[in-house]
Amino acid sequence: MSTDANSVSEETQIALLLCCVFGEESRDKAKPLSPGEYNRLLLWLNSLGFGPVQIQQQEVRAQLPPSVLAGITDIRLDTLLSRHSELTTGLEQWRESEIWVLGQTDAAYPQRLPARLGRATPPLLFGVGEQALLDGGGLSIIGSRDADEMALEFTRQIASACAQENIQIVSGGARGIDREAMLSGLDDGGCAVGVLADSLGREAFADRYRTPLEQGRLTLVTPFRPDVGFSVGNAMGRNKCIYALADWSLVVSAATAEGGTWAGAVENLRHNWSPLFVRDGDGVAAGNQRLLEMGALSLTYDSGNRTSTLRETLESAKSRKRARRLAQTNLFASPDDADEC
């Protein structure tokens, strides 16, 4: 784990005070800012040429307009910003585990997230491994925890192709398709980013990840506190980061209208964070077929009978979909518009 975990900028310390829960804090304390609240505040500060640090200044805070202030009171801000001892303890614990922290104002924070997620951008990222991988793009590979062997074998083939073609894998690290994709790609010498919903502090020391972390080929990251336990809400919340960090996305196996894989895929189709591919062919899950009907791109793969690379296949399908959309748009163009073209 070669990235230095000891340097936390002043701006990120303010973000931690405003947005993080430390340890077993009393529920009587002020509720940390949500991503939406923090991003609303940060956008306003940036518009005045300020950063997070300036929110400590009363003369700056006095200028807050009602549209930004909604639910953000002086008492709440003061209470959150006063938690210096809790912050110090948290930073010390994370440093001992070689966990680094990035805020949106840090140069290493992946710019794909604010560019694609807007006000849903996580205020903070906790991680281990090489920070540079966060802006490496690649293919996100997602699927069911209880996938069948056919889906798992498909995943292994795709992950192996990613490693051979220097396509980074982005996934969620969960049991099943996600973990199989990451480990298969790493075993073949590739790189991966795992966006975890929980337990970063524990996963950072798992034997399966030790070597690729040491080699700089793996980054584990989460928008949630490193010691937080699993929750469905957090699992759903981290899905958008998986899609937004990638150049393309692939759903290997999905149930219809249920589970995190389905919810994340539908959300990506709605927001178009990255082009969505779905495994097609005989024996695929019913959810796969429904996602294809909703506009996802079909992907089949046979490693023993290929006429093009995986990258060429992904780019070609994406271009065909873009051309179809342009053709549909042109159906509504006026004759004058057509003449100008």
Mean local confidence (pLDDT), 228-255? 94
Q: What are the distances in angstroms from CA 31 to CA 74, 79, 103, 119?
A: 13, 9, 19, 19
Is the pLDDT score of 50 beyond 80? Answer: yes
Domain with CATH 3.40.50.450 in the chain: 136-325
CATH of 136-325, one of 3.40.640.10, 1.25.40.10, 3.40.50.450, 3.40.50.720: 3.40.50.450
Contact (CB, 8 A) for 23 and 89: yes
CA distance 114 to 235: 19
pLDDT at 69: 84
Contact (CB, 8 A) for 251 and 296: yes
Among the listed residues 319, 318, 298, 316, the one whose alpha carbon sits nearest the alpha carbon of residue 307 = 316
* Burial per residue of 287-312, b for 16 or more beta-carbon CB atoms within 10 angstroms, e otherwise: bbebbbeeebbebebeeeeeeeebbe
pLDDT tens across 87-101, in order?
A: 999 999 999 999 999
pLDDT tens across 60-76, in order?
A: 999 989 888 888 999 99
Q: How many residues does the chain have?
A: 341
